[in-house]
Each structure stands twice: as structure tokens, then as C-alpha cells.
Amino acid sequence: MSVYLDHNATTPVDRRVFEVMLPYLQQHYGNPSALYRRGRYARQAVETAREQVAQLVNAHPSQVVFTSGGSEANGLAIRGAIPNMYSLAVSAVEHASVLESAQAVARQGVKLGIVAVDDNGRVTESALASALTHQPQLVSVMVANNETGVVQDIAQLALLSHAHGALFHTDAVQAAGKMVLDFKSLGVDLMTLSAHKLYGPKGVGALICDSRVELTPQILGGGQEHGMRSGTENVAAIVGFGKAAELAGCELDIRQSHVSGLRSSLEQQLAQMGEVVVFAQQVQRLPNTVFLAIPGIDGETLLMELDRMNIEVSSGSACDSRKIGPSHVLLAMGVDELIARCSIRISFGRDSSEADVTALVSALKQQVETLQSASLLAWV
Ligand SMILES: Cc1ncc(COP(=O)(O)O)c(C=O)c1O
């Protein structure tokens, strides 16, 4: 089996999650909207999952709107949070599902402000303050970046946005299950989650939405999710999301200390290699994420070479892997385009081990030597 070091792209479904999902694909297949017993049984399971997801982020179950994943929840927040929106601001390092939703509403006439980040990928209060002078009605800044792992000071940014009359949405897809997340104390109005980044199934997520937000649904029909998101619920996936959220809450400390130990070990060994640049190393990052570049070695080439050696990493965001071009996150941080093109992302998970770190470091050393000796380096 290969060494999997791309947990920010997705995680395997936890065995305990899989086991609670299975009956809802087989014997408990009722439609949760049906009034007879089989339907009520499915409804009960969805509501239990709603409580479990709410608990992970200290929200109220009534604030949870299940969606088909993080992308849909982000789109719902951007398009649905403000009726007749005329102005919006999002950070430059958001996931494509936020950036492209924002660009889509901008094409329909909404004024769009892009909030700059500093060299470390952080949204500073002064950058946000200058975006707020354009009076956006909604601000969206992610808790933690999927590529760099950089964590933003969301409580401060939300406070500042509220002081200027804007609602605040945060994409917490990467943060959930990797750090403490508290919807209430962060003071945000909307928060996006996705199950498959925390050992749950793919294709299910949630938008946590404060009751004061007048959310406009984007999918209409049967009126499920209190009318906020129509469509027959994916019961098994929602049940799995609930269980994964419960486990993530219970096991947060142990998961955090495991991956941060591996990250320190990797970064110490990378430091000894010399040529490696680790992005945003000086600021708070997700404990499992290392975004690095070996100047002179193209990131895509390195990724493919590592894959040949049975090590799976990503170059930037997996969701962007079909797009050609350097990471928009690194460019927003002011990283030179040539260096940005050399980036790869390592993201550890629960089952990663010190042996994986050793395998990766030795493969990286081998790649540096091979590519150098084959004169494939464009520049060193
Ligand atoms: C920060 C962030 N937001 C949103 C998403 C999209 O989530 P989903 O894959 O559930 O649509 C991702 C997925 O990579 C992500 O990393």
C-alpha cells in the first residue's frame, strides 16, 4: 500500500462511521419525510446527526442545514445569506467554491471586494478594515486554509465586520476535527463544514446558520431542512457525518498531538535538507499541514515522482489539481511564481506514522539528487 499524506484532500471513512451508516442503506431506507414508522426512524437518525454536528462546533441543532458538502454550503452562504445583496468581500485565499461563487454574483452586478493577505497568508485587521470601507453586507474568511493550513483570527475579523454592519461567514471545512471550533464564541453568522475531511463520507456537509440570517434557499422543492435546502436527505451519509463529528470531538486532543508530532519531525528533517522552503511556518497553522517548495523542482513533477515511489501528496489543493497554474494562495501571499510552481502539500492524518515521515524524507532526498544529477532542474 502507498503512503497517504493528503488528508486535507480527503480522509478514509472511519470504520465506526461506516458501521453506523450501513443499516441506513439497507433495512432503514425510509424517506425521512414519510409519516409512517420507517420514515420516522430515518427522521430520528437525521435529527440525532444534527445534534452531533451541532455539538462539534457548539451550535444549536436548529442552526444546522445539511447540504451535499462544503462546496454547496459555501455557495448557499455566498448566494443566500443576504437578500438582494449589492456588496460582498471575500479573502484572496478562499477555496474555489467561495471565490467562484463570489465571482458569479459579481457578474450579476454585486460589488466584490477581495481582502488581501499578508506574507504569511493572514488576513490582517487593517486589510479587512480597508475592504469594509466599501460597505460589504457579507464578509467571508476561512478559518484555516486548505493549502497552507494558516489559521485566521476569526473572532476578531467577525467582530470588526459586525461593527461595520456586515454578516460574517467562515469556511471551517479544514478546521473542523483538527482544532477547537466554537460557532458561538467565534461570533460568526454562518459556518461551512464537510464530513469527508474528518473521517466521514463524501458528499455531505452543513451550513451552520444563525437564526437571525434570512437565508434564501438555492435548491427548491420538497422543503426539507426547514425549507433551506430541498431534496430528500442522504440519510446514511448524514448519519455518518454525525458519528464522524462525535468522534472528532471526543478524539480531538489525541489526533492533534499525533499529527503535530509528525509535523515537527518532518519539519526538523526538512530543515536539515537545506533547499526546502516551508510556507507560513512562523504563524499558527493546522497541526497536520506542511506546504513546502523545493525551488527548482516543479511541484507537479515531484508529485508524480513521489507517486511512482508510492507516496501520495498534493500540489496545492486537490480540488485545483485539474487546473494548470501556481497556487492562488501562494501568489496572494506574494510568493514568487517560480517558487509557487514548486509547491507540494503534505497533510498528515490519524493513521500517519513516523515511518511515513521517514519514507517521505528519503524520497524527497532521492528526488533532489536524481533531478539535480539529470540536470532537470531549471535553476537551483
Ligand atoms: C477549505 C475548503 N472549503 C471547501 C471545500 C469543499 O468541500 P467539499 O469537498 O465537501 O465540497 C474544501 C475541499 O477541499 C476545502 O478544502
One digit per residue, pLDDT tens: the chain, 380 residues? 899 999 999 999 999 999 999 999 999 999 999 999 999 999 999 999 999 999 999 999 999 999 999 999 999 999 999 999 999 999 999 999 999 999 999 999 999 999 999 999 999 999 999 999 999 999 999 999 999 999 999 999 999 999 999 999 999 999 999 999 999 999 999 999 999 999 999 999 999 999 999 999 999 999 999 999 999 999 999 999 999 999 999 999 999 999 999 999 999 999 999 889 999 999 999 999 999 999 989 999 999 999 999 999 998 644 445 566 899 999 999 999 999 999 999 999 999 999 999 999 999 999 888 877 764 545 44
Q: Which residues pair with 88 in a beta bridge?
A: 112, 138
Place of cell 467582530: 159
Question: Which listed CATH number (3.30.930.10, 2.60.40.10, 3.40.640.10, 1.20.1440.230) goes with 15-247?
Answer: 3.40.640.10
Which residues belong to CATH 3.40.640.10 in the chain? Answer: 15-247
Number of alpha helices (DSSP H) and beta strands (DSSP E) in the chain: 12, 12
Amino acid at 328: H
N residues, the chain = 380
Cα(137) to ligand 1 centroid in Å equals 24
Read off the C-alpha cell for 332.
Answer: 496572494
Q: Which CATH superfamily is domain 3-9+252-373 in?
A: Aspartate Aminotransferase, domain 1 (3.90.1150.10)
Cα(377) to ligand 1 centroid in Å equals 33
Cα(100) to ligand 1 centroid in Å equals 13
CB 160 within 8 A of CB 128: yes
3-state secondary structure of 343: strand
R_g over Cα of the chain: 21
CB 279 within 8 A of CB 291: yes
Counting ligand 1 atoms within 8 A of each CB, the residue from 93, 141, 173, 192 with the most, and so the one to mutate, is: 173
pLDDT at 319: 44
Residue nearest to atom 7 of ligand 1 (CA): 70
CB 237 within 8 A of CB 21: yes
Q: Give the atom of ligand 1 at the shortest distance from the alpha carbon of 203.
A: 10
Cα(79) to ligand 1 centroid in Å equals 17
Distances (CA, A) of 55 to 71, 94, 255: 22, 25, 18
Counting ligand 1 atoms within 8 A of each CB, the residue from 11, 194, 198, 315 with the most, and so the one to mutate, is: 194
CB 169 within 8 A of CB 192: yes
Contacts of residue 118, defined as CB under 8 A and 6 or more positions apart, other chains included, come to 124, 127, 333
Counting ligand 1 atoms within 8 A of each CB, the residue from 53, 197, 315 with the most, and so the one to mutate, is: 197
pLDDT at 318: 42
Q: Give the atom of ligand 1 at the shortest distance from the alpha carbon of 195.
A: 10
pLDDT at 357: 98
Report d(CA 141, CA 154) in Å as an integer. 8
Catalytic residue (one of 209, 250, 319, 342): 319
Cα(51) to ligand 1 centroid in Å equals 22
Cα(139) to ligand 1 centroid in Å equals 18
Sheet (strand 167-171) strand order? 64-67, 205-209, 190-194, 167-171, 138-140, 87-91, 111-115
Residue nearest to atom 4 of ligand 1 (CA): 70
Give the binding-site residues of ligand 1, using a 6 Å CB cut-off: 69-71, 74, 95, 97, 142, 146, 171, 173-174, 194, 196, 205, 319
Q: Give the atom of ligand 1 at the shortest distance from the alpha carbon of 69.
A: 10
User: pTM value?
Assistant: 0.96
pLDDT at 380: 44
Active-site residue, 319 included: yes
Report d(CA 183, CA 60) in Å as an integer. 9
Cα(38) to ligand 1 centroid in Å equals 33
Q: Give the atom of ligand 1 at the shortest distance from the alpha carbon of 73.
A: 11
Counting ligand 1 atoms within 8 A of each CB, the residue from 319, 327, 345 with the most, and so the one to mutate, is: 319
Exposed, middle or buried, 159 (CB in 10 Å: 0-12/13-18/19+)? middle
Q: Give the atom of ligand 1 at the shortest distance from the alpha carbon of 204.
A: 10
Which residues belong to CATH 3.90.1150.10 in the chain? Answer: 3-9+252-373
Q: Give the atom of ligand 1 at the shortest distance from the alpha carbon of 318.
A: 14
